[in-house]
Amino acid sequence: MEDTYLKSQLKLRKAGQDEFKKNRHFYPLLVQFGVEGLSDVDAEKIQARLSELGEK
């Protein structure tokens, strides 16, 4: 997750946005994109992922 944060921060710096804080910006974006992604997943894929989590 740290690598994803740093890559996102670098992308924004290159686009001219200097401020990108982990708690204020990154984590809310992570949740938002996760919720959006989950809304498109069918029940079978959700059950498969839950099974994978249970094995760990």
Q: What is the pLDDT of residue 56?
A: 65
Tokens 């989590």 identify what position? 53
Q: What is the pLDDT of residue 41?
A: 92
pLDDT per residue as tens, the chain (56 positions) = 999 999 999 999 999 998 899 999 999 999 999 999 999 899 999 999 899 988 76
* Domain extent at residue 51: 2-55
Residue ranges of the alpha helices (H) in the chain? Answer: 2-14, 27-39, 43-55
The pTM is what? 0.68
Work out the number of other CB atoms within 10 angstroms of the CB of residue 5.
17
For residues 26 and 20, is the Cβ–Cβ distance under 8 A? Answer: yes
Q: Token pair of 30, please?
A: 């992570």
When divided into structural domains, the chain yields a total of 1
Tokens 């290159």 identify what position? 14
